């Protein structure tokens, strides 16, 4: 099903689908993405991350980005202190890899997780209505280029997803988010250079800001 983003009920429609464990193709501030609710409840049976991997293909092993509605929401899932230089880029196309807080439901995904607060009020409203982070990963089969044409997305994945939110076709050369990691020696490292340009980190500066555990 294709549903227009500019419809007055699109936030409610997308949030309802995500909250019930459905897989939705959503336009973000970077590119179209597969999305599903993150299992933040210990007894959740949605496992949308596994379903998205099945859709993308058996070779898909990369961790997904967790989209959050507000910058401060990341503190629910990590004890790491995030430098203001990075937080000031939110909302925006910057994904930050942090260590997962002990005891968090996200521990089942691994010791680290990537978070991003998108620069799209509509998308943040959807996430806020869901009441939990949502996964985001490019719309494509594993190893292939991300799809930006909605007609092609519907052709390839229409039978495998529950909803496609339409916001027009996107530019093919649109950059994804920049990804940084806070996990090495009290400083951040750039994992992927995307649309947000960062200066080369200075170890002495970030060592003072990074809280060790």
Which of helix, strand or coil describes residue 67?
strand
CA angle 121, 107, 66 (to 5 degrees): 15
Give pLDDT tens digits for 165-196: 999 888 888 888 999 999 666 588 999 998 89
| Beta-carbon count within 10 A of 150 CB | 20
Q: What pLDDT is recorded for position 206? A: 35
The pLDDT value given to residue 169: 86
Q: Which domains does the chain have, with CATH numbers?
A: 2-209 (3.90.870.10)
Q: Is the dihedral of CA 138, 144, 145, 149 positive or negative?
A: negative
Residues of the chain with pLDDT under 70: 42-45, 58-60, 183-186, 200-213
Give the whole-angstrom CA distance, residue 213 versus residue 207: 13
- pLDDT of res. 60: 66
Distance between CA atoms of residues 199 and 18, nearest Å? 36
| Model pLDDT, residue 18 | 97
């Amino acid at each position: 099903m294709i549903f227009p983003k500019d419809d007055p009920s699109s936030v409610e429609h997308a949030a309802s689908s995500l909250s019930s464990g459905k897989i939705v193709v959503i336009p973000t501030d970077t590119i179209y993405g597969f999305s599903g609710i993150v299992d933040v409840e210990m007894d959740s049976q949605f496992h949308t991350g596994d379903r998205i991997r099945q859709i993308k293909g058996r070779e898909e092993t990369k961790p997904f980005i967790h989209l959050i509605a507000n910058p401060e929401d990341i503190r629910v899932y990590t004890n790491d202190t995030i430098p203001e230089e990075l937080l000031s880029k939110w909302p925006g196309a910057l994904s930050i890899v942090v260590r997962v807080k002990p005891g968090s439901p996200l521990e089942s995904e691994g010791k680290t997780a990537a978070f991003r607060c998108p620069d799209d009020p509509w998308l943040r409203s959807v996430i806020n209505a869901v009441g939990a982070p949502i996964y985001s990963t490019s719309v494509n089969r594993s190893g292939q280029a991300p799809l930006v044409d909605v007609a092609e997305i519907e052709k390839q994945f229409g039978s495998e997803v529950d909803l496609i939110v339409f916001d027009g076709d996107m530019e093919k050369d649109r950059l994804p988010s920049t990804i940084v990691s806070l996990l090495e020696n009290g400083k951040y490292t750039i994992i992927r250079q995307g649309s947000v340009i960062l200066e080369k980190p200075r170890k002495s500066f970030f060592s003072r800001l990074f809280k060790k555990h």
